Amino acid sequence: MRKLPIAVALLGVAAAACGTSSGGGTQAGSSSAPAAGGAKPLAGVKIEVAAKWTGDEQANFEKVLKAFEAKTGASVTYASTGEDTGAYLGPRIEGGNPPDVAILPQPGLVQQYADQGALKPLSSQVQAQIDQNYTPYWKELGSAKGQVYGVLVKAAHKSLIWYRQSAFDDAGAQPATTWDDLVSKTAQTLSDSGTTPFALCAASGWTLTDLFENIYLSSAGPDNYDKLSKHEIPWTDASVTTALQKMAQVVGKKEFILGGPSGALQTDFPTCVTQVYGQKKAAMVIEADFVAASVPQSGAKVGEEAKIMPFPKVGDTAPVILGGDVAVVMKDSKGAQALLEYLASKEGGEVWAKQPGYLSPNRNVSPDNYPDDLTKQLAQTIISAGESVRYDMSDLAPSAFGGTDGKGEWKDLQDFLRTPTDVKGAQQKLEADAAKAFEK
């Protein structure tokens, strides 16, 4: 397209006919009306950014992009990669035409793409923003081989259980602080009262890895967690057995899961949120803070009907697991670096923070921007990430193991959900897949 006038002309027709897809009409004028963009440094520059968000999360992010457009005059197109970001970017990297900016759901991909030479180092301006706004821990997650490639633009607090207050009230159930209480008291009470305790989004494999990781971090401890993350201990280790057995206490009980295992395996994220707050069929969802983005749509209010409890401790301490999305530059362009600079800045972070379901890892984003107290509180936990806090294990793994639909850990845990009694078999499958993925 770049080299061939015909295609350019065709595109021109398309653009003239209906405007660019992201700008929705307002931004389309920026190139045709230079007078308006006089003072803006990036007037007429086109930037494509790809991320996995759809629906509400996409709409929220597009508000940030709008603010960037308004500030710089650039026109930004948002591309949804779908759940499997690797599968989306793979052919585009192969074909030498990646998006300008990609937001990777896993630091594991930063490593992988850096190895392939698909990433561009960040400009000094972006790095300055990072140094100013991020703790070294977060900076490191966006780095590979000593080079900074990415900015963590969105953080997720993954050690939460969301519950529906009215279901708890009806049943007389209480939030739990230990796993055993969660299983034998909270969930049992709910179940006895006729409300299914949990809605699982097991069709989205990552929700299961999140659950497992929380149990594992708490039951096996941070040291083992680090070792398993790097595959220094095998998945057949006894610590994994314990964690899977604990997990089976919930997922192995038909009446604890909405629709049973087979129903859960057909439920994709965030449908389980709708099941709890919209259809009121279940009482709890075990997932991260970003559930908040889907709560309002179901007609519930965060902090009132939709409440959270910290993930209860399975072993000695309660787990805190974080996740995040890393923005990287895949094409050397002024626009791409400028967008990253904006996303890494206090200004950009604060625009985003006003949207529901967002936590900023940027320590200079004022907590006052968050829409509710609950989010404020969570944001605090993330910024002051302490010693025992760990990053989402599956996201650190090679994506063939930890981040691919229908493969590796996602698939093996889904299979485990089908036969929760077969802990050994699940461990063997996990070990086999991990060995394959880490060997490469």
Partner 1 sequence: MTERLDGPQAPGGGDAAGEPPGPRETPPAGVTAPVAAAASATAAVPAEGAAPPRLGPSPRLAVMFLLPAVLLLAAWMIYPLVYSLVRSLFDASGSRFVGLGNYGSIFTDSSTLTTIRNNVIWVVVAPVVVTALGLIFAVLTERIRWATAFKLVLFMPMAVSLLAAGVIFRLVYEQDPDKGVANAIITTVHDTFSSSTGYPGARPRENDQAPATVQGGAVVAKQQAQPGRPVLIPLVGLSQDVVKDAAPAKAAPADGIGGTVWLDVVRGGGGTLNQVDPQEKGLAGITVEAVSGSTVKATTETADDGTFRFSGLPAGSYVIRLPQSNFTAPFNGVTWLGPALITPAIIGAYIWVWAGFAMVLIAAGLSAIPRDALEAARIDGATEWQVFRRITVPLLAPVLLVVFVTMVINVLKVFDLVFIIAPGSVQPQANVIALEMWRVSFGGGGNQGLGSALSIFLLLLVVPFMIFNIRRFRRDES
Partner 2 sequence: MTTTVAEQPRHAMAIQRGVAGRIMDRLGGGVVQVFLVLVAVFWLVPTLGLLIVSLRSETANNSTGWWTLLTKPAEITFKNYSNLLASGFGQSFWNTVLITVPATLLVIGIAAMAAYAFAWIEFPGRDAVFLVVIALLVVPVQIALIPIAKLYGFLGIFGSILGVVLFHVAFGLPFAIFLLRNFFVGIPRELLEAARMDGAPEWRIFATVVFPLAKPAIASLGIFQFLWVWNDLLVALVFADTDNQPMTKALQSQMRQFGTNVDILAPGAFLSLIIPLVLFFAFQRYFVQGLLAGSVK
Query: Which residue of 26, 33, 41, 54 would you call a contact of partner 2, by CB under 8 A?
Result: 54
Give me the count of residues in the chain: 440
Nearest to partner 1 of 118, 318 (CB atom) = 118
* Cα distance between residue 174 and residue 196, in whole Å: 15
By a kind-dependent CB cut-off of 5 to 8 A, residue 14 interacts, out of partner 2, partner 1, none, with partner 2
Q: Considering only 93-101, 163-171, 357-365, 390-398, which stretch makes contact with partner 2 by CB under 8 A?
A: 93-101
Only segment of 12-20, 183-191, 253-261, 363-371 that touches partner 2 (CB under 8 A): 12-20
CB atoms within 10 A of CB 262: 12
170 contributes a contact to partner 2 by CB under 8 A: no
Q: Which residue number, 174 or 279, has a Cβ lying nearer to partner 2?
A: 279
Which tokens sit at 383? 């910024």
Beta strands, E only, 212-320:
282-285, 306-310
Rounded CA separation 165/310 (Å): 15
Q: Does 32 contact partner 2 by CB under 8 A?
A: no
Cα dihedral angle (199, 202, 205, 211), rounded to 10 degrees? 40
Check if the beta carbon of residue 390 is closer than 8 Å to that of residue 321: yes
Q: Is 128 in contact with 364 (CB distance < 8 Å)?
A: no
Is residue 123 within 8 Å of 341, Cβ to Cβ?
A: yes
Interacting residue ranges for partner 1, rule: CB under 8 A: 83-84, 86-87, 90-91, 94, 169-173, 189, 191-195, 202-205, 255, 259, 262-263, 265-266, 268, 398-400, 403-407, 411, 414, 418, 437, 440
- Measured from the CB atom, is 130 or 173 closer to partner 1? 173
Which of 44, 121, 278, 371 binds partner 2 (CB under 8 A)? It is: 278
- C-beta closer to partner 2: residue 6 or 39: 6
Residue 355 binds: one of partner 2, partner 1, none (C-beta under 5 to 8 A by kind): none
Orientation angle between helical segments 205-229 and 238-251, nearest 10 degrees: 160
Report d(CA 190, CA 170) in Å as an integer: 9
Options 405, 415, 422, 431; binder of partner 2; rule CB under 8 A: 405
4 binds partner 2 (CB under 8 A): yes
From the list partner 1, partner 2, none, which binds 195 (C-beta under 5 to 8 Å, kind-based)? partner 1
Q: Which does 33 bind (CB under 5 to 8 A by kind): partner 1, partner 2, none?
A: none
Contact criterion met (CB below 8 Å) for 174 and 333: no
Residue 271 Cβ vs partner 2, minimum distance, rounded to whole Å:
3
- Rounded to a whole number of angstroms, the minimum distance from the CB of residue 93 to partner 2 is 9
Q: What angle do CA 101, 385, 245 make, to 5 degrees?
A: 95
The string over 347-366, giving b where at least 16 C-beta atoms fall within 10 Å of a residue's C-beta and e elsewhere, is bbbbbbbebbbbbbbbbebe
Q: Which is nearer to partner 2, 71 or 280 (CB)?
A: 280
Considering CB under 8 A, how many residues would be counted as binding partner 2? 48
Could you give the count of Cα atoms lying within 13 Å of 177 in the half-sphere of its Cβ? 2
224 lines the binding site for partner 2 (CB under 8 A): no
Among the listed residues 207, 243, 427, the one whose alpha carbon sits nearest the alpha carbon of residue 435: 427
Q: Is 34 in the site for partner 2 (CB under 8 A)?
A: no
Among 30, 81, 196, 229, binds partner 2 (CB under 8 A): 81
321-329 and 101-104 strand pairing: antiparallel
